[in-house]
Every structure is written in C-alpha cells, then in structure tokens.
Amino acid sequence: MLGLAAALVSLAVFPRESVAAGKSGVQICLDVIVPSLMPFFVLSSLVVELGIADKLGRLFAPITRKLFNVSGICSAAFVLGLIGGYPVGAKTAIQLYKSGQISKAETERLLSFCNNSGPAFILGVVGARVFGSGGIGILLCLAHASASVFIGILFRNWGKGKIRGRQFAAQRDPDSESAPVRFSSAFITSVKFSVRSVLNICGFVIFFTVFIRLLFLSGVIPNAAQVISSITGASVTQVQNLIIGFIELTGGVNALGTTLAERGGSVKMAAFMLGWAGLSIHCQALSFIADSGIRGFTYIAGKFLHGLLSAGIVAVLFKFLPFREPAAAYYTQQISGIATLGFNRAVLLSTLCCLAIFLIAWITAQRKRG
C-alpha cells in the first residue's frame, strides 16, 4: 500500500517527466519491440502449430535427453530463445506445454535456460554501441550461450518424480505423428496470438520506463546506490548502473559506457545483466506462465544463476583475451560486418538464420520419413 501511495504521489509531483518517460517507452516499442519480436513470435507459433517442433525434436532428442533430461521437441524453444531473444524462449516453452507436447516437469526445466538474449542485441547494442568492440560482443555471446547450456545441465533433474498439479489435456508422445494443420489456419492463429503477446510486452516496457524515471527523480536509486557503495566499496556509478540493469536490461547496459581502465568490470556487469535479464523481462515471461499452472521459481532461479555464471565465464575469459592488447583488433575485424550493421539488418540476419535452421531440420525429417 505504501509503495502504491508513493507511486501515485510521484506521478502527481512529476507529471511532465512521467509523460515524457511514457512517450520514450512507446517509442522503444515502435522502434524496437514490435519490429524485432513480432516476426519471431509468429515464427515460433508456426513452429508449434505446424508440427515442425515435432520434426525438430526427432533430430535433437538424443542430445536434449542426455544433456537436459527433456524431450527433443524442447530444442525448438531453446533454439528460438537463443536466436530471437527475450522472451521468445519462454513463450515457445509455454506454448509447447499448453498444446500437451511436454510435461510440467520438462517445462520447468526448460524455462530455467531457454529464455535468452538474442545475438542481434548482444553484438549490435552491447558490443558495438556500448563498448565499441565487436570482440567484446563475441565474448558476451559465447559466455551467454555457454552459461545457458550449463544452467540446463544443472536443472536436468529438477522436478523429477514431482509432475503434479494442473496438466493440459491431450498429452502426446513427441515421437508420434501429429494431426495435419492447414497453414492458413495456423498462420492466422499465430498472428493473433503474437499481436496479443507483443501488446502485453509493450505494456511492461512502458511501465518500467516510467517506473525507473520516477525512482531517479524521487532519489530512490541515487540514495540506494550511495548506501550500497559505502558497504561494498564499489563506485556509486557502477552500483547505480547495476540497479538499473537489475530492473531493466536495456537501460542498464546502455549506462555502462566506461573508460578502458574500468572496462573489465563493466563487461562482467553486462554479462550479469544479460543473463539475469531484468525485472521488466521477467514480468513479460511470467505473463505467459501465469495461466499455465507452472511455477515461476525455476525460471527466476535459473536466470539469476545464469547472470552469475555468465559474469564468471567473462571474468575467466577476460584474463586470456585482454582487449586492450593489439590482438583484440583481430577479433573485432572478424565481425566488423556484423558489428556495423544497423538494428534492422541485424534482426533480419537473425530471422534468416532461424528460418534456415528450421528449413534444414524440416527437410531432414521429411527425408527420414521417406
């Protein structure tokens, strides 16, 4: 109650700033959220609706069962989550569960590691724009993906023998043949569901944009940063950036522009933020989980460990890849074409890669059936 009262007072005290922050959130939705997530949401829905996830599952079943103790069909959520970015992985996992293709225990294990940041954001925004280094973008991508795999292995026995609670009907064997679905029907369903999902996410983005602005104006974040800084010894700026990233990923990483001497610590902070994802993205993911009967604890625990593990991997690799050395120029040149791409081209590239992966998987599955 006190928090709600404080929020209402802040809106009344800072009306112009709140409106400006809201407009900024709407602009982010129009420029980034809608064009980047909408295609992946439609694609992920089609993958499930058309039964492509079943075919993909047959190919990856031996790997996913041994590594993550989940059926092969779960690979669709993992691959789409890595390519499409937040929160495509969580949305795909829940859709697989609601369609009866995976169990509750598998869904909870899957949610611990399938919801990840996409390469377009890590390479284009964090690596190239924030740190001005394609090499650091590659380092963060490797750490992020590796940590995701490790978290999946860590949670492989989660919920073993504890599959209880609400179950969706029509549980089916992933290896069985699915009923044919017309593409037109699946496409219309996918677009309708994707529009609702994108609007849901835009609501959270706008809210948290205003929320963070009010926390700054009211002095909550600056004062909290001062207290934590006095206890930990870290600089006020670093603590403040970490608080922002803990709440909202994009604002947190954008605030990490530092000098070369502070780059190591900032890269580790970026790795943690990318793994943790932020409260804003968690709300987006939990909005899909809310009506499914799935517990959100596994997801939150997995993301927090993902952040810690990513930062640890970066800390180790940073010792062997000192980016202030001339050798760093080699890594930067390796992806100079990707790092200098605009956001729209980076998203297009990721989309084409995603389509290519599933096209190859579908053709291979058809050949095996023939």
58: in domain? yes
Predicted local confidence at residue 192, as pLDDT: 83
364: in domain? yes
Token reading at 121: 């954001």
Token reading at 22: 């809201």
237: in domain? yes
Distance CA 321, CA 313 (A): 12
15: in domain? no
10: in domain? no
Q: What total number of domains does the chain contain?
A: 1
CA distances from 352 to 120, 144, 347 (A): 12, 21, 9
pLDDT, greater one: 28 or 178: 28
334: in domain? yes
User: What is the percent of the chain where pLDDT is above 90?
Assistant: 16
77: in domain? yes
Distance CA 237, CA 101 (A): 47
pLDDT, greater one: 349 or 135: 135
Cis bond upstream, residue 62 (ω within 30): no
Residue of 117, 155, 89 lying closest to 270 (CA atoms) = 117
Rounded to 5 degrees, φ, ψ at 144 are -65, -50
Mean pLDDT of the residues in the chain: 77
SS3 per-residue string spanning 295-343: CCHHHHHHHHHHHHHHHHHHHHHHHHCCCCCCCHHHHHHHCHHHHCCCH
User: What is the percent of the chain where pLDDT is above 70?
Assistant: 76
CA 40 vs. chain centroid, Å, equals 12
Residues spanned by the domain of 293: 27-157+180-369
Q: Quickly list DSSP for 72-98.
A: GGGHHHHHHHHHH-TTHHHHHHHHHHH
Q: Using the structure block, give the residue that is written with the tokens 């990721």.
A: 350
Model confidence, pTM: 0.74
pLDDT band at residue 358 using 50, 70 and 90 as cut-offs:
low
